[in-house]
Amino acid sequence: MKDHEKNIWKSALFSASGKSEAFKKPGPFEQSTQAEEPDQLNMLDMLDMLDKPDRPDEPEKLEVTEELEKKQIRRIVAARRQEYAAHCPDDLARMSARIVSRVLALDLFRSAEAVFLYMDLPGEVQTRALIEHCLKAGKKTALPRVEGKRMRFYGIRSLDHVCIRSENSTSLNAASSPAKPRFQIPEPDPAFCPCMDEEEHALIIMPGVAFDRSLNRIGYGGGYYDRYLQLHPAHPAAAIAFHFQLFRHVPHEDTDIRPQVLITDQTCICAGSAVSRS
């Protein structure tokens, strides 16, 4: 692992633990207090794994213990994204372009007449190029809009009708209100965009915080995609994520919905096996 990448991971892990990087392992003659700090011990164990020269350069090798639950994983990935966005934005763009290329090559995508995508947040896989490709290719293209605890997909013909709506507005054309939704995600305006929930066989390309090789997924905690796919089970679903979001194992529940395929900048995992790696 390159030194600057290792430093990003160390910063992410310490940020997630809420501890200062000044915390060090005690020397041979110093009294250890690690027994009282299980979260610090967990972080140091993972740093040891990063420091081993014989470890592969794969963040998925970080062992997810019971102490490292969904909230902790979300913090680690969020810190990792922030570090990349601040210090390596070109790498994010390059990795996103590679993921988009992999998606375009999927038979599942090429055969889809309708594709449901999402607008990316900072640090997520960048989707604008994929959305524009779908529009130019004549595929029915839709983006999600959150309505209370429900998510619905609205068709778009242009990104001109997609923007951040105010919290108290029914239309996206209202940039006048300072109140904004929780994540400030651009959404389609139903005044211009028809609901496409009846497209039951559209391919859904979904984001996530963390994944494992069994296609278990950790989302942002709202449960929107799980609820949507429970109501619309016929949709094929593909997830896209950076490889640093891939863990050996992530906590999951029986009600969680798994995608049929996960595409990262380094691998493509279908239900049961990894089918590509380069």
Burial of 160 (0-12, 13-18, 19+ CB in 10 A): exposed
HEC string for 75-96: HHHHHHHHHHHHHCHHHHHHHH
Task: Please tell me the distance from the alpha carbon of residue 75 to that of residue 85, in angstroms, as a whole number.
Answer: 15
pLDDT digits (tens, 9 = 90+) for 172-194: 443 333 334 456 789 999 999 99
The pLDDT confidence band at residue 69, using thresholds 50, 70 and 90, is confident
List domains and CATH numbers for the chain: 3-87 (no CATH), 90-277 (3.40.50.10420)
pLDDT of residue 6: 53
Dihedral sign from CA coordinates of 206, 207, 211, 216: negative
Q: What is the mean predicted confidence (pLDDT) over 67-81?
A: 86
Task: Please tell me the distance from the alpha carbon of residue 110 to that of residue 253, in angstroms, as a whole number.
Answer: 31
Q: In residues, how long is the chain?
A: 278
Is residue 71 predicted with pLDDT exceeding 50?
yes
pLDDT of residue 173: 41
pLDDT of residue 243: 95
Higher pLDDT, 66 or 208: 208
Q: What is the mean predicted confidence (pLDDT) over 11-31?
A: 43
pLDDT of residue 36: 32
Cβ atoms within 10 Å of 214's Cβ, excluding its own: 15
pLDDT of residue 259: 95
Is residue 260 predicted with pLDDT exceeding 80?
yes
Higher pLDDT, 57 or 246: 246
pLDDT of residue 61: 52
In the chain, the amino acid numbered 14 is F
Task: Please tell me the distance from the alpha carbon of residue 100 to that of residue 83, in angstroms, as a whole number.
Answer: 22
Is residue 20 predicted with pLDDT exceeding 80?
no
Q: Give the range among 48-52, 70-74, 99-103 with minimum mean pLDDT.
A: 48-52
Paired tokens of 180 = 């904004």
> In angstroms, how far is CA 246 from the centroid of its own chain?
10
Is residue 30 predicted with pLDDT exceeding 50?
no
pLDDT of residue 176: 33
Burial of 210 (0-12, 13-18, 19+ CB in 10 A): buried
Paired tokens of 222 = 């709202």
Contacts of 5 (CB under 8 A, 6+ apart): 57
Q: What is the mean predicted confidence (pLDDT) over 138-166?
A: 91
* Of the candidates 220, 222, 270, the residue with the CA atom closest to the CA atom of residue 245: 220
Residue 232 contacts residue 150 (beta carbons within 8 Å): no
Residue 222 contacts residue 209 (beta carbons within 8 Å): no
pLDDT of residue 62: 54
pLDDT digits (tens, 9 = 90+) for 191-242: 999 999 989 899 999 999 999 999 999 998 888 999 999 999 999 999 999 9
Higher pLDDT, 111 or 57: 111
Question: Between vectors from CA 176 to CA 162 and to CA 185, what angle results, nearest 5°?
Answer: 35
pLDDT digits (tens, 9 = 90+) for 85-132: 889 999 999 999 999 999 999 999 999 999 999 999 889 999 999 999
pLDDT of residue 222: 87
